[in-house]
């Protein structure tokens, strides 16, 4: 009788273990299928790259669509918690020349103001517009030149360089980039990951602002994946949906 009880207990344990092994196998199969659908971003040396699911290790960063959606809410660059719309109303002086699209240059070289000018005291800290971004361009040179497009009187398009001064470009998960210019200080380096708590620089008076007769301000541009600027006031109606473009940019050399 005693050995019989022992046999039943041993059999029950073996049966239980078998059931656990079968459940585990089913769960593992299920997870493997899920992993196949993941986009995996990881470090290789000092570069962010797309990885295959097999190369996951403790340094791997997972970026899901949910993550990107969550970090897609654009806010003020001044850490005042203002929405984009309120920000624009508050900091643009509302003069013609502060808005996007107003004409710049000369009659022979017509170009437009590709951003908006936000008037805050000199040396105001500036932050990224969303909770996650990557620095894709940065210059600590107060005379830094950026290539822009202009039209001649015959409407043909050409390129010229404009002195933007100390400049930072941040790419957001959606594929939109912000450019901050005329900065007095830049605190980030190329390829750096930033969030809403990163002070990327200080507003200032570098670049061609000296010739404009304007006081210190933040010149803010938004650019799409084709590097075309658009009116930040239209941001709330702008739907680009180019997550892939953002992911391509993760191959940035630091």
At its nearest, how many Å lie between Zn ion and the CB of residue 32? 52
Three-state secondary-structure class, residue 203: coil
- Give the residue closest to Zn ion by C-beta: 219
Q: Near Zn ion by CB under 5 A, which window of 115-123, 170-178, 191-199, 224-232?
A: 115-123
Looking at residue 160, the DSSP 8-state letter turns out to be: E
Say if residue 157 is exposed, middle or buried (CB neighbours under 10 Å; 0-12, 13-18, 19+).
exposed
At its nearest, how many Å lie between Zn ion and the CB of residue 60? 40
d(CA 63, CA 212): 42
Q: Which residues pair with 229 in a beta bridge?
A: 223
At its nearest, how many Å lie between Zn ion and the CB of residue 28? 56
d(CA 198, CA 106): 38
At its nearest, how many Å lie between Zn ion and the CB of residue 100? 9
Which residues are within 8 A (CB) of 175 and not within 5 positions of it... i.e. 6 or more apart? Answer: 224, 225, 240, 241, 242, 243, 244, 245, 246
At its nearest, how many Å lie between Zn ion and the CB of residue 157? 21
**Residue 42 or 207 having the CB closest to Zn ion:** 207
Interface with Zn ion, residue 117, by CB under 5 A: yes
d(CA 185, CA 167): 9
Residues in contact with Zn ion, shown as a per-residue x/- string from 207 to 236 under the rule CB under 5 A: ------------x-----------------
CB 136 within 8 A of CB 177: yes
**Residue 61 or 102 having the CB closest to Zn ion:** 102
**Residue 101 or 125 having the CB closest to Zn ion:** 101
**Residue 79 or 104 having the CB closest to Zn ion:** 104
**Residue 75 or 99 having the CB closest to Zn ion:** 99
The CB density around residue 202, as the number of other CB atoms within 10 Å, is 18
**Residue 131 or 149 having the CB closest to Zn ion:** 149
At its nearest, how many Å lie between Zn ion and the CB of residue 117? 4
**Residue 208 or 242 having the CB closest to Zn ion:** 208
At its nearest, how many Å lie between Zn ion and the CB of residue 164? 9
100-106: long-range pairs with CB below 8 Å, 24+: 100/229, 100/230, 100/231, 100/232, 100/233, 101/231, 105/150
Cα-Cα-Cα-Cα dihedral sign, residues 139, 192, 86, 113: positive
Q: Near Zn ion by CB under 5 A, which window of 14-22, 30-38, 117-125, 196-204?
A: 117-125
User: Would you tell me which residues interact with Zn ion (CB under 5 A)?
Assistant: 117, 219
């Amino acid at each position: 009788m005693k050995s019989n009880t022992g046999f039943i207990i041993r059999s029950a344990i073996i049966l239980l273990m078998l059931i656990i092994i079968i459940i585990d196998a089913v769960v593992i199969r299920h997870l493997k299928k899920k992993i196949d659908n993941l986009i995996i971003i990881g470090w290789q040396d000092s570069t962010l790259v797309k990885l295959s699911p097999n190369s996951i290790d403790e340094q791997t960063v997972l970026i899901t669509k949910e993550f990107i959606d969550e970090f897609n809410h654009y806010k003020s660059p001044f850490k005042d918690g203002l929405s984009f719309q309120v920000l624009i109303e508050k900091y643009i002086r509302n003069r013609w020349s502060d808005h996007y699209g107003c004409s710049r240059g000369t009659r022979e070289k017509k170009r437009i103001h590709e951003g908006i000018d936000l008037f805050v005291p000199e040396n105001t800290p500036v932050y990224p517009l969303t909770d996650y971004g990557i620095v894709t361009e940065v210059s600590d040179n107060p005379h830094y030149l950026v290539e822009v497009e202009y039209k001649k009187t015959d409407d043909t398009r050409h390129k010229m360089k404009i002195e933007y001064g100390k400049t930072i470009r941040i790419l957001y998960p959606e594929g939109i980039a912000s450019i901050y210019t005329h900065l007095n200080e830049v605190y980030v380096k190329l390829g750096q990951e930033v969030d809403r708590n990163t002070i990327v620089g200080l507003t200032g008076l570098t670049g061609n602002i000296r010739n404009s007769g304007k006081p210190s301000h933040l010149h803010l541009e938004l650019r799409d994946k084709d590097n075309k600027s658009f009116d930040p006031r239209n941001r709330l109606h702008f739907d680009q949906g180019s997550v892939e473009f953002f992911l391509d940019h993760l191959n940035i050399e630091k």
